[in-house]
Amino acid sequence: MRNEFYEDLKLVAFAIGAGAYLLASAFHRRKKTRALQDLARSKISAAAQGLVEIEGWAFHYDSHPPVLSLDGKKCVFYHLQIQLRTGKDSYETIAEHLPKNPILICDLSGAATVDPSEIEIDVEPRISDWRKLSPEARASALNLINIGHNHPNLPSVTPGFISNSYRVIEKKIMLASPILVHAEFYTRAQENISISQPWLLTFHKRLSSIVKNPLRYKSMFDRNSNGTISDEEARDGYYMAAITTKVLDERNKDSSHFAGANPKNSALNPLKHYGYLRKHPVYPSFITDCHEVHAIARMGFGVYFAIFLGMALVICAIGYALQFFSLS
């Protein structure tokens, strides 16, 4: 009887704790949603120092090449964790790849730099069972982490019987992905930087024609022909457009007829770099891999679902506890 009492007590405590966590998470996401709704977006070229909201597309500097995700996508931000199961629903991170490179965010007016290590990255994680990854993906994961393959707790490239104890969590922002940054904007005195990567300038020209032509935008990205562009369709569409541009640039970089090889072309003038983005000391600071219309929808769904589930857990736990103690 005493053992049953403690088991029931642990169950009630767990349910209340989980419900409280979900409610706290929901209020945090609600705070971010309100921040997006209350602050007007700024063009990078016109951003004032202080709290800003900027929409653009994510790129990298030539000096900081992208990282390949486990499915072979080029990413300007990539966080990988290998986790070991320690209980029925609990895992421990035993190795991880931490992103170090700055993200170059460009809109149609210019460019800015954001350090992802300082700001919350609000992207949907992808969770994969270690056994279901291809051998190439497993090898890639082990090559990316910060410790050697001889770590005693690491899984093998060839999954064995105990490989069901491992999982991989990826958080990524793909090359040319739509990106939204809500953070503090600042400049550095006497700094004059221009971005002159040829393929990026060529793609920036394509961006302008896509964004300003809604019909072309829908025809390129609406894969299921339902008349709307999802955040996933936008990410994949811009990624493929950027990869195509980069391949063409590599093939034609010595050809005079290729627009990217002509530095005198006024449409391909270097992009001016206007400043930097960092965590604001007071207001929520975060990066999402979609633009505001998709970010608010995604956060809003998460908020209401978390509130419903959190309240349900807390109410059920309190009701069960009252019933249990009244009978005992």
Look at residue 25 and give its three-state secondary structure. helix
72 inside domain: no
Cβ atoms of 58 and 289 within 8 Å: the answer is yes
Reported as a single tens digit per residue, the pLDDT across 80-134 is 999 988 887 788 888 889 888 999 999 999 999 999 888 989 899 999 999 889 9
112 inside domain: no
Phi-psi region of 286 (alpha: psi -120 to 50; beta: other; left: phi over 0): beta
Q: List beta partners, residue 85.
A: 91
Q: What is the DSSP string of 218-259?
A: HHHH-TT-SS---HHHHHHHHHHHHHHHHHHHHHHTT-TTSG
Distances from the Cα of 18 to the Cα of 93, 123, 201, 306, 313, angstroms: 20, 22, 48, 11, 7
Which pLDDT belongs to residue 36? 64
The C-alpha angle with vertex 121 and arms to 31 and 148, in degrees rounded to 5, equals 145
Cβ atoms of 76 and 60 within 8 Å: the answer is yes
Reported as a single tens digit per residue, the pLDDT across 245-255 is 888 776 666 55
Q: Is the dihedral of CA 262, 266, 268, 271 positive or negative?
A: positive
Residues 6+ apart with CB under 8 A from 215: none
Which pLDDT belongs to residue 79? 95
Which pLDDT belongs to residue 113? 95
Reported as a single tens digit per residue, the pLDDT across 33-80 is 676 666 788 999 999 999 999 999 999 998 899 999 999 999 999 999
Take residue 261 and report the two structure tokens written for it. Answer: 């090889």
Closest CA to 316 of 25, 1, 22: 22
189 inside domain: no
Answer whether residue 180 shows pLDDT above 70.
Answer: yes
Q: Which domain holds residue 26?
A: 1-38+294-328
Look at residue 289 and give its three-state secondary structure. coil
Take residue 152 and report the two structure tokens written for it. Answer: 């005693």
pLDDT > 90 in the chain, percent: 33
11 inside domain: yes
Reported as a single tens digit per residue, the pLDDT across 268-290 is 678 899 999 999 999 889 999 99
Say how far apart CA 27 and CA 40 lie, in whole Å.
22
Which pLDDT belongs to residue 265? 44
Which pLDDT belongs to residue 211? 83
Q: Residue 214: pLDDT band by 50, 70, 90 thresholds? A: confident
Say how far apart CA 94 and CA 42 lie, in whole Å.
41
Q: 171: buried, middle or exposed (CB in 10 Å: 19+, 13-18, 0-12)?
A: buried
Residues 6+ apart with CB under 8 A from 129: 164, 166, 167
Cβ atoms of 103 and 58 within 8 Å: the answer is yes
How many domains does the structure of the chain reveal? 1
315 inside domain: yes
81 inside domain: no
Cβ atoms of 69 and 170 within 8 Å: the answer is yes
Reported as a single tens digit per residue, the pLDDT across 12-29 is 676 677 767 666 666 666
Look at residue 88 and give its three-state secondary structure. coil
What 8-state DSSP symbol labels residue 176? T
144 inside domain: no
What 8-state DSSP symbol labels residue 165? G
213 inside domain: no
Q: Residue 315: pLDDT band by 50, 70, 90 thresholds? A: confident
